[in-house]
Structure 1
């Protein structure tokens, strides 16, 4: 393969999208990438002018073109930020004016919402790691607040992003900061960063999360005695591994549809995942390789339950095709057999995460009660 002409490249981030003009013989209008925030790089004269006007009209916000007509006279624009869910505007290319169309959640006022701040730190082995911390007003006023560490799912190719996050805003409204670390194997930071996390799930990927916690403590934002870890899917697995790997770092954890046993997790793959089984072996662990199989056992929390000392709340959808209910049943059964009390919420009309409003409401009521009890807040 030969590069004919390099249109755009970034040393640190992957290109996330590009757009071609239907009107102007498919001229390249813009490329975009996601760094600390989403960045649009206009390339055509049309989009250079529009981008300049959007930046001037909505400073400090993320502005994206949702769509436009074939004649490029009317554009649909969305404006959002860490404190704005999203507001739609129409842009008239003739008059050069923006007009408000629709505010997604007008009952939420920007000044009442918490700040999501991009952070960057060095891992213990020298990688540059990016992430975000959502800070309640008490933290901005110099108070050390309780922290909820929230590793993302995936883990491969997924990343946390800057913008309005209902969950971190909920936690902030109760006085908690939320830390989200784009640990190695996260997407958007180039192939080397992605591959640095291969065979490191539950190991160096967890080190990156812990290094992020240490960074947050060093900045004076959080109370080091009141830190919880909570996540879904791989984030639920990371919760269990956090309680195993660094039992003194966290005061409690919430495992939401998380993997507890890599062996049974692989055996329970749904049909639509089976074509990717060889790829998963390359990214996670090859259980046919004795050395890697031994590592997989070491980083399967169900085999390390003697190391779990802090309160744990487990949540599961009974019909989950991705992380079978057996993953949660195993860890709960094993811990209860040791006399360890584990509250366990199972919903029989849910799958990989709760989607029914009544179940989500019950989950967050229970979770906030669990945090209030164990973070004493």
Structure 2
């Protein structure tokens, strides 16, 4: 019997037990170490369904690498690598005899493609391209960058450079992932491509507390909201400035959910570093965020409280709402009216605090949305507003859309028509 465990230095390992001995259910039963990751997360890409044994593992760190357990598959993977050329590939599924594979080819600048791979003939047949219209355009490459934070810990990041301006520091967007126990990946990223097309260099950072880089990296985020987790984002920005990539006067922090919290933290904790911020469904008050956990999330309350540091940190001290009067730069806040994970009141509270301090804020509420903007029409409207906001703050370009979007403003009975 095989299993994936975190057993050594917080790294992911594939181990094997004797099946007959597992009836004892002892936690310390000895196992055989089959494979250990170098720094990322191990996953099983392909298994022998009859033998119940993994054949190919995939370790995902900054980039992905395949680990071949069954050496009979070496020739197939070599042929697939030639088929993929500049792309990477992933085996999605196989038939019962594992002689026909469903394979996806992907990259950072081309539409993903789905293929059938025939192992008998070592030949592939293309099924379809997910979005073939993308291949007509020259998209911007995503760079995988291994940065170091101030205390020396690794800071796995992804940079997409705009090709509109070739030299010198450029307007810059720090795009922060949500979670925070989640991660950014290398590949085709629609938001990176949009922002690069509008004239901005874009950086996504797997700050401490992100998943996918070992247990030590994950647990380093516990109790570090508004503290070391935010330090990592600042360290990445300072690196971009020192490298001549980012214009220090034209840096925006943007994100959704925890990324929205980080955007608010950016304007309140480091008010002179960022030129503006975009907060999408982000919490502003950690105490009320925890109080509003919906009933169906109750089983993860304890892990969430541990992640935040309940009992060890002052929740008011790590809440951007506490420091709303420090905000000096333009802020765009977006929320879904039906959000049960981060309630609309989280955004309403900081907007009210800013109004009480005579601070300007752009606030948009989508009536039919929840924790994220899912309706394609609303998503289009959202990014139309974001790119116009960024153009005003950073000087990039935006697309003027022929029709008008109707977006409901909070605390306003009428709809605001944004001519974008």
Give 2:70's aligned residue: 44
SS in 1 for 2:33: coil
Pick one of 63, 84, 93 that aligns with 1:58: 84
In 2, the alpha carbon distance for the partners of 1:279 and 1:134 equals: 33
2:369 counterpart residue number: 350
The Cα of 1:18 is off from its aligned counterpart by 4.6
Unaligned runs of 5+ in 2: 1-27, 397-420
Shift of 1:2: 4.3
RMSD in angstroms over aligned alpha carbons?
A: 1.5
Runs of 5+ in structure 1 lacking a partner?
none
Structure 1 equivalent of residue 176 of structure 2: 151
TM-fit CA distance, 1:45: 2.8
Partner of 1:214: 238
In the TM superposition, structure 1's runs of 4+ consecutive aligned residues that sit over 4 Å from their partners are none
Answer yes or no: is the 8 Å Cα contact 1:83–1:110 preserved in 2. no
Query: Secondary structure in 2 aligned to 1:155?
Result: coil
Q: Could you tell me whether the CA contact under 8 Å between 1:29 and 1:46 is conserved in 2? A: no
1:109 matched residue in structure 2? 135
Q: Spell out, residue by residue over 1:165-187, the C-alpha distance to the aligned partner (whole angstroms, 9 max, x if none).
A: 11111111111111100000100
Q: CA 1:26–1:277 in structure 2 vs 1: closer, same or farther (change >3 Å)?
A: closer
- Report the CA distance shift for 1:72/1:19 in structure 2 as closer, same or farther (over 3 A): closer
* Alignment of 1:174 onto 2:201: no
Contact 1:129 / 1:181 at 8 angstroms: preserved in 2? Answer: yes
Out of 221, 231, 240, the residue aligned to residue 264 of structure 2 is: 240
1:123-138 residue pairs with structure 2 within 5 A? 123-138=149-164
The reply to whether residue 224 of structure 1 matches residue 251 of structure 2 is no
Cα separation, 2, equivalents of 1:214 and 1:85: 33
- Find out whether 1:9 has 2:36 as its counterpart: yes
Higher strand share: 2
In the alignment, is the contact (CA less than 8 A) between 1:84 and 1:164 conserved in 2? yes
**Aligned residue pairs: how many?**
369
Per-residue CA distance 1:193-245 (angstroms, 9 max, x = gap): 11111000121000001111111222222212111011000000000001111
Instruction: Judge conservation of contact 2:46–2:91 (CA < 8 Å) in 1.
Output: no
1:204 aligned to which of 224, 228, 243? 228
Three-state SS of the structure 1 residue aligned to 2:338 is coil
Tell me the TM-score normalized by structure 2.
0.85
Q: Cα distance, 1:353 vs. partner?
A: 0.7
Per-residue deviation, residues 32-68 of structure 1 (Å, max 9, x unmatched):
1111112221211343222111112223322011112
Note the alpha carbon deviations across 1:112-148, whole angstroms, 9 max, x for none. Answer: 1111101111111121111101111246x33422111
Instruction: State whether residues 82 and 165 of structure 1, in contact with CA within 8 Å, keep that contact through their aligned partners in structure 2.
Output: yes
Q: Identify the structure with bigger relative contact order (alpha carbons < 8 Å, sequence gap 6+).
A: 1
- State whether residues 16 and 188 of structure 1, in contact with CA within 8 Å, keep that contact through their aligned partners in structure 2: no
Structure 1 residues 339-348 or 60-69, which shifts more?
A: 60-69
Q: Match of 1:30?
A: 56
Shift of 1:109: 2.0
Matched, 1:336 2:363: no
User: Partners of 1:111 and 1:221 in 2: how far apart?
Assistant: 24
Q: What are the superposed Cα offsets for residues 3-25 of structure 1, whole Å, 9 maximum, x if unpaired?
A: 422111023122133532124x2
TM-score, length of structure 1 as denominator length:
0.94
Name the counterpart of 2:105. Answer: 79
Question: How far, CA to CA, are the matches of 2:55 and 2:290 in structure 1?
Answer: 43
Partner of 1:325: 344
Shift of residue 75, structure 1, vs aligned partner:
1.4
Distance 1:19 1:90, change over 3 A: closer
Q: Is 1:376 the equivalent of 2:402?
A: no
